[in-house]
Chain A
Amino acid sequence: MRRFSWFNATSLTLGFAFLYIPMIILIIFSFNASELVTVWAGFSTRWYGELLGNEAFLDAAWVTLQVAVMSSTIATVLGTMAATVMVRGGRFMGRTLFSGMIYAPLVMPEVITGLSLLLLFIGIGLDRGVLTIVLAHTTFSMCYVSVVVSSRLVSFDRSLEEAALDLGCSPFEAFRLVTLPIIAPAVISGWLLAFTLSLDDLVIASFTAGPSATTLPIKIFSSIRLGVSPEINALSTIMIAIVTVGVLTASIVSKRASVAQQRDEQAAARAT
């Protein structure tokens, strides 16, 4: 047992305070009865109620949800396929280049991704709306899914797939019946990651959203330019809650999976 140290305790407190006090203040003030954001006038859920009556916010929320579900689902399918090819495809010409290119969007400034997508959509004459945001979000979240899934596939025992083929599966059946169920936790946490990323993206969405469809982050950002309202606080609190749940679920799922994997591997090691 390490001894309690004032220095450690202080730095921990300061660090966490720095990270979380702004959010805590926001959450507290979302329950403020007053119209004035900075003056506390008692507890109330009034702003949550008002939020429900605000058509513009509800529309934006609906668009955001649609975009997040669609883009994370497409990104998961594409990202899993890309990861499978990269890990399994064997050595083919330009493999290193391809895998590098899949991961490039991870480090690409969002402004550039957003701008280039905007130019593309204008170039091919695609009207900006839900579809374009979905495409844009799929593009950048796919590489996150691919990273998560391929790190799982690297440690996947190939002989399991061979055993499935040996027992009469076609290659696709082997993937569906053996590989996919085993890597499912990684695929799910990839989906949750993509979902969360899409939910709170502002930059890329502002480039690719049109007048017909606005996402919640864009809506919030544009309305605070007219001054912060307690309604925004309430909305932000809800978003914090959703993102927290998403991230927690993703990390619990992947933690569980890695524990299970370790256990299976230890068991396998004992067998030999």
Chain B
Amino acid sequence: MAQTEFAPWNDPEAKPLIQFKNVTKRFGAFTAIDDLTQDIYAQEFFALLGPSGCGKTTMMRMLAGFENPTEGQILLSGQNMAEVPPNKRAVNMMFQSYALFPHLSVWDNIAFGLRRARMPKPEIDARVDEMLRLTRLEKFAKRKPHQISGGQRQRVALARSLAKAPKLLLLDEPLGALDAKLRQDTQFELMDIQEKTGTTFVIVTHDQEEAMTVASRVAVMDEGRIVQVATPAEIYEAPNTVYVADFIGDVNIIEGAATPSGDGYDIAWAEGQAPFHAKTQTKLSNGQRCYLAIRPEKIGIATEKPEGADNTVQGKIIDIAYLGNLSTYHVELPGGKMIKAQTANTRRLSRRALTWEDDVWLSWTNTGSVVLDR
């Protein structure tokens, strides 16, 4: 994608734009954000991902200035933000509820922030028109928010937050109300805007595909903590916990006991079955309980036992989910463990060799799985 790799988080010289330093946020006795420390760099597209109620919106609201941390500090360009009110921050937020002004037209909603900044009239006109073009809302400029559809309202909210070209833009589930096609278009538009303007984006989503598409880094959250922060590819290929592996995409988790062997471990997963082998950097003690995480698409499925495969196991097809481009086979292993294996449907359906109740062989390589200790 990018010509030179954009990875300021690996550069010890780089100055972060946002720093969360041991931030804790409590609402009464309830801890919404729990001792969170995290740097976000300028021009990043930082995605917060996690189940509902894990504290994503709370993090955004602290960045925008609507909530103050109970403990710890938030720095923006090195400056402590504790005493800075929301209207004095070079930050704009797109609200999960849109929060469009019902008494103003679409045009005036978008112009609102520019007028507050005392921008000259011709510049406001030009900027608003540009935003309308970008979000394809030209035809609706004169309408009031209640006269347009949910998806259009979402785009107005997006245009309004983009209009001031802030240093930092916070998007709280910005594309939830859009249908799949428009959502994809808008995702690409967002990335385009990001590349053109160099704005730093923090985006909340609970759609993992969206996070994977747009983000430079993804942070997976759980109950007020960040469990893992990494590039989309890393987080998919090398999750650090079962929670992350399970949250991002589909995964098979096989629990077992580890025995060091070669450059990895043998993992005994069931009585009377050959152990699976996995290469890994993870350090485990002899006999430690661990989890083998394998993505369905990394598992081959065949009627004959494949020659020379690293790991093989026989099972029976219980169910087949046909997804158009892909098919997912649910295979029962000896002992009742269910495993999902996915193949691309390069052939027509009628010529597919595998069907229900077939005995099949599953196989994957030593590097196809990830060993996790929790």
Contact = CB atoms under 8 A, between A and B. Distances in A.
B116 A169 contact: yes
B12 to A, nearest CB: 34
List the 6 shortest-distance A-B pairs measured between CB atoms, nearest first: A167-B113, A168-B116, A271-B150, A163-B99, A159-B99, A267-B146
A169 B101 contact: no
B99 A271 contact: no
A50 interface: no
Nearest to A269: B150
B113 A168 contact: yes
Interface string A65-106: 000000000000000000000000000000000000000000
Given A165-B86, A168-B116, A264-B146, A178 B154 contact: no
- Pick from A162, A168, A173, A270 the residue with the most CB of B within 10 Å: A168
B87 A166 contact: yes
B298 to A, nearest CB: 38
7 contacts: A157-B97, A165-B65, A165-B87, A167-B160, A268-B97, A271-B154, A272-B177
B117 A168 contact: yes
A178 B101 contact: yes
Contacts of B66: 162, 165
Interface string B85-111: 111000111010111111100000000
Which of A163, A177, A272 counts the most B-chain CB atoms under 10 A from its CB?
A163
Given A166-B93, A173-B116, A182 B103 contact: yes
A170 B85 CA distance: 9
A268 B65 CA distance: 25
Contact of B86 (A162, A268, A272): A162
Nearest to A182: B103
A264 B148 CA distance: 11
Interface string A205-244: 0000000000000000000000000000000000000000
Contacts of B160: 163, 167
Given A157-B99, A159-B97, A167-B92, A270 B150 contact: yes
Interface residue tally of chain A, by bracket?
Answer: 20 to 34
Interface of A: 157, 159-160, 162-170, 173, 177-178, 181-182, 263-264, 267-268, 270-272
A162 B112 contact: no
Given A163-B101, A166-B161, A182-B103, 15 more contacts: A159-B99, A162-B64, A163-B95, A163-B100, A165-B85, A165-B87, A166-B93, A166-B113, A167-B87, A168-B87, A169-B116, A264-B146, A267-B145, A268-B97, A270-B150
A162 B92 contact: no
Contacts of A159: 95, 97, 99
Contacts of A157: 97, 99
A166 B150 contact: no
Contacts of B177: 271-272
Interface of B: 64-66, 85-87, 91-93, 95, 97-103, 112-113, 116-117, 145-146, 150, 153-154, 160-161, 164, 177
A162 B150 CA distance: 21
B99 A162 contact: yes
A166 B98 contact: no
Contacts of B146: 263-264, 267
Contacts of A178: 101, 103
Q: Is the interface of A mostly helix, strand, loop or mixed?
A: helix
A177 B112 CA distance: 10
A166 B92 contact: yes
A21 to B, nearest CB: 44
A167 B112 contact: yes
B97 to A, nearest CB: 5
Nearest to A158: B99
A181 B66 CA distance: 23
B102 A182 contact: yes
A231 to B, nearest CB: 47
A270 B154 CA distance: 12
A166 B64 CA distance: 7
A271 to B, nearest CB: 4
A36 B102 CA distance: 58
Nearest to B176: A272
A160 B85 CA distance: 16
A159 B94 CA distance: 11
Contacts of B64: 162, 166
- Give the interface centre of B65, B91, B116, B160 by most chain A CB atoms within 10 Å: B116
